[in-house]
Structure 1
């Protein structure tokens, strides 16, 4: 990897880490925000909900625009909006404006995250696409377990508003850095109207990601409650379990990229989905086995995120001219899967309890595998174009 490659990946990694921190830092701050605005915890939870909805709606729009007009300007726009919206979050005069600020954050991240995946896919060497994307993805996954401690520590010394001020300052620096870094971005060869045909093919492809997200998050959302209810884990033991999961996710992402470059995107994405199904079944069988749960959570995340990285690389290869749109719809499918997974998990818990969740997730994983074996053909309209 040359110096330019290291710089590009470093900038992308730090940027995804920053917006990941913004997403994962909100949860531990909700009690303090509730007190500040005198609203219930359920109401403050809308800060996360409106972010996810806005992101899912607008990411495909920015992906389509970036395929036609280039990615640099939209990434820079997203980071500038990220700065403004986090300042508004820090100093919102009312809870209404706080919600508005999180909508704007969702809009800003929609213009950043999928386009970074697309631009790294643009510049990565053909035989190193998986590795480059896995390094990029590890920035977001690192924020998964580092975001909460960062926010809690800063809140303890300076108050919860300081967290968003810090995010705004870092975002401003990265807006300048990204604008400089991507000044020589490759030009897109996309000349077709995406709505004319390729969109259906993309929908078929990203349905794999939606099913994968259900397999990963229907249980993860309720993991702390499940560990407490079924094994009587203490808060420190639950935190340790989450750390094992987070480390497995980072290692899995990096390992998945290297395996993808060596054996191919299709092969690794399918193999990991099979192993994910088996690991989830084992997790269901041995969920109450005590200390073994740490290893199983590590293995679950390791296999799961190796598969996500390899499938992302597969989309990058399969959609060379619509890469921004494919990455954006893939992220939208991810959020849809997370939402459906959390809803499904709640239903399963109310009917059969926590220990049944891993088996339901395994069904979603095997569905994802079968979807990944299907090939959605291009429509006649696209072929004509």
Structure 2
């Protein structure tokens, strides 16, 4: 890997770490925000909802636009908007403007995250796409167990508004860095109309991610509550469990890149989904087994996020000329799956209790595997050499 490659991966990693922190840090700050604006926690939760909905709607448009006109300008635009939106979040005089700021933030991240994935796929050397994508994906996942806790620590000393000010300043600096870094990246050749048959193929492909997200988040959203209910865990034990999960997610992403480049994107993405379904069954059996749960949470995240990263690499290879829009639709599919997963999880615990959640997640993983066996027609891996 040359100097330019190391710089590109470093910039991509840091940028996605910031995007992940912006996503994950809001939830632990909600009690302080709701108190500041004198609204209930449920109402304050709309900050997360409007962000996710805006992201899911806007990401495919930015992906399509980047395939036609290049990714550099859109990533830079997104980071400038990220700066503006987070400054507005920090100093919004009313809760209405606070919600507007999160809509703008969702719009900004929609023009950054999927395009970083796409641009790394554009510049990765042949047979190294999986490894390169796994590195930048780990930046996003690291925010889960490092970025969000750092934000809560910053809140403790300087207040919740300081968190968004710091993120805004870093976003402004990254706008300059990204504009310089992606100066010599190639443009994609969008040869097919994404409104026609190509879009149907893309939607079929990203449906794998939707069911993967359902399997992962139907349980994860309620993990703390389920550990408290089924194991009697204290807050410190729940925090330790989340740490095991977060470390497993990062390691899974990094290991997946090496395995993907060695054994192929299709093979690793399918094998991990099979193992994921089996791990969920083990989780269901041993969920109340005390300290053993830490091991199974680690394995769950390790295998689950290895599958996500390998499937990202698979999409990058199978759609070389539509990489931007495919990555964007895949991120939209991810958010749709997270939303559906949280709804499914809520229904399951209401009807049958927490102990049934892992088994429902296992079924979703099996469906994701079945969908992953579909083949993308009219796509050749040799097209990568043309794209590069």
| Fold match (TM-score > 0.5) | yes
Who is 2:220 aligned against? 220
User: Deviation of residue 375 (structure 1)?
Assistant: 2.5
SS in 2 for 1:182: helix
Who is 2:293 aligned against? 293
Q: Is the 8 A contact 1:283 1:358 kept in 2?
A: yes
Give the Cα–Cα distance (whole angstroms) in 2 for the partners of residues 41 and 138 of structure 1: 30
Who is 2:39 aligned against? 39
User: Deviation of residue 328 (structure 1)?
Assistant: 0.2
Give the Cα–Cα distance (whole angstroms) in 2 for the partners of residues 52 and 161 of structure 1: 21
Who is 2:382 aligned against? none
Give the Cα–Cα distance (whole angstroms) in 2 for the partners of residues 378 and 357 of structure 1: 39
The 5 Å alignment of 1:186-265 reads 186-265=186-265
Who is 1:382 aligned against? none
The 5 Å alignment of 1:373-384 reads 373-375=373-375, 377=377
* Residues 176 and 56 of structure 1, relative CA distance in 2, 3 Å threshold: same
Give the Cα–Cα distance (whole angstroms) in 2 for the partners of residues 207 and 35 of structure 1: 39
TM-score, normalised by the number of residues in structure 2: 0.97
TM-score, normalised by the number of residues in structure 1: 0.97
Who is 2:307 aligned against? 307
User: Deviation of residue 194 (structure 1)?
Assistant: 1.1
The 5 Å alignment of 1:79-158 reads 79-158=79-158
- 1:74 equivalent to 2:74? Answer yes
User: Deviation of residue 147 (structure 1)?
Assistant: 2.7
CA RMSD of aligned residues (A): 1.0
User: Deviation of residue 190 (structure 1)?
Assistant: 1.4
Give the Cα–Cα distance (whole angstroms) in 2 for the partners of residues 211 and 126 of structure 1: 29
Who is 2:386 aligned against? none
Deviations 1:154-179 (A, max 9, x none): 11111111110000000000000000
The 5 Å alignment of 1:326-365 reads 326-365=326-365
Give the Cα–Cα distance (whole angstroms) in 2 for the partners of residues 164 and 182 of structure 1: 26
Who is 1:174 aligned against? 174
Aligned residues between the structures: 379
User: Deviation of residue 80 (structure 1)?
Assistant: 0.2
Give the Cα–Cα distance (whole angstroms) in 2 for the partners of residues 145 and 14 of structure 1: 15
Q: Is the 8 A contact 1:198 1:378 kept in 2?
A: no
User: Deviation of residue 376 (structure 1)?
Assistant: 5.2
Give the Cα–Cα distance (whole angstroms) in 1 for the partners of residues 324 and 239 of structure 2: 36
Give the Cα–Cα distance (whole angstroms) in 2 for the partners of residues 31 and 163 of structure 1: 14
Deviations 1:322-370 (A, max 9, x none): 0000000000000000000000000000000000000000000000000
Give the Cα–Cα distance (whole angstroms) in 2 for the partners of residues 222 and 71 of structure 1: 36
User: Deviation of residue 378 (structure 1)?
Assistant: 6.0
User: Deviation of residue 19 (structure 1)?
Assistant: 1.0
Who is 1:17 aligned against? 17
Structure 2 alignment gaps of length 5 or more:
380-388
SS in 2 for 1:194: coil
Deviations 1:97-143 (A, max 9, x none): 00000000000000000000000000001111000000000000000
Give the Cα–Cα distance (whole angstroms) in 2 for the partners of residues 56 and 85 of structure 1: 17
Q: Is the 8 A contact 2:68 2:187 kept in 1?
A: no
Structure 1: 4+ residue segments shifted above 3 A: 376-379
Q: Is the 8 A contact 1:68 1:191 kept in 2?
A: no
Deviations 1:258-278 (A, max 9, x none): 000000000000100000010
Give the Cα–Cα distance (whole angstroms) in 1 for the partners of residues 191 and 263 of structure 2: 32
